[in-house]
Amino acid sequence: QVQLVESGGGLVQAGASLRLSCAASGRTYSGYAMGWFRQAPGKEREFVASISRSGGNIEYADSVKGRFTISRDNANNTGYLQMNSLKLEDTAVYYCAATYRRSDTVVVTGRDYAYWGQGTQVTVSS
């Protein structure tokens, strides 16, 4: 079992930055691919970014490329999502997710993740 707890959400103005954290506990975090997803009101959950177990492979949704940066600190069992140049349409509940992978690959599909955090609200105002 892996427990995930997100933090760092909040209310910011458009153009501002936020850094989300995802603290993992339980099994060896370094064996897990990690991802960030978001869900806006009335919309389906969507993929934001994923990072492989070593951090060597990363993928982003087109909507956040160039603005968001995913990273991880395996020594401290923590993942991060740095969000810059936030837009109104980035408003959503953000979830981190983890799933074990033998190979150093990213995981972009939500149903392929075994563990999820409770979510943290990000609200971007004009």
pLDDT in tens, 35-73: 999 999 999 999 999 999 999 999 999 999 999 999 999
Give the other-Cβ count within 10 Å of 95's Cβ. Answer: 23
Q: Checking DSSP bridges between strand 10-13 and strand 78-83, what pairing results, if any?
A: unpaired
Give the length of the chain: 126
pLDDT band at 95 (very low <50, low <70, confident <90, very high): very high
Is residue 14 over pLDDT 80?
yes
Q: Is the pLDDT at 80 greater than 80, yes or no?
A: yes
Question: Does 29 score more than 80 pLDDT?
Answer: no
